[in-house]
Structure 1
Amino acid sequence: MGEQKVLDDFDPRVMPKAIPALGPQVAVDENGELLPPAEVAAKLERALEEVDADYGTTGKDPLGWTVAVRLSIEGLAYVPLQLTWSLDGVDVSETWQADNLAYRIIAKTPHDTGIAEIWVPNLHRAGSYNVNVRLTYEADGTTADLERLGLPNG
């Protein structure tokens, strides 16, 4: 992450509507059905056991990193999108390898731009990890990319 290019300027007056989501996708089962709150809490607790934490007077505070993602959404006004992230690397558990929802995004104009900040955990195990970020169509989960829209890539 330290070697990533600095983000170019963007017009802050034109921003898509983004609704943030936190933590790993633990609220649904393999069939997409909502889990009971107690089960969701237990899964989240198990996932956070793999994350470094500060111990303070109010309890454990999970440690992690913030990754900034520049968004430029063209031709998709009012199309629901999802920005997801996952980790890969040696000894990354299935929980953190899975796609985790960061934001639901709905562009309000034909060309919206903005920056999304995503929190990713600092795992106990030392090693090199990759943060994978995807923008997908909410309706079918396919990746939103330039080729699919018939636009030039680059």
Structure 2
Amino acid sequence: MLMDLLPLILSIVAIAIAIISIVTIRYIYRYLYNLLEELDISTIISRKKSKRVKRYIAIKILCPEETDIVTYIKSLSRDINELLGPIGRIRCGVTLISFRADKRRAILRVVGYSECVKHVLLILSIQHLLKNQCIAIPIKTSGLLTRIRKFVGYK
């Protein structure tokens, strides 16, 4: 009699273990998800890896007459990197590609993730408030250097 009930008892125990493990796994998953939300790490983990993009920003420089525009434009990429901070410098690379003093226009290259361009545009918009110098106005953003050069009037 006991031998006939043994498979039934084993089946019931296996189903109970499976149900308990599913409930436990869901509890652990919910606990870990809440912990990651609390630490704001879940957005980093769950976000797909985006590839690094290269964008070009055309800027127009407005300076008072007594300010040397060449000195300002040489220090512009250094000032942007300083305002980005250490993590921003690692994630975003900002380089001055070209500058035309006669038209007072320059081209910056931003290499990094998609939010890097937004950070650099924001820094360009507020940097004159912090440095009390010239104003760098972003006028166009593009992914192609030839298109941005054409817009600025290089060729």
TM-score, length of structure 2 as denominator length: 0.30
Tell me which structure has the larger Cα radius of gyration: 2
More helix by share: 2
TM-score, length of structure 1 as denominator length: 0.30
More strand by share: 1
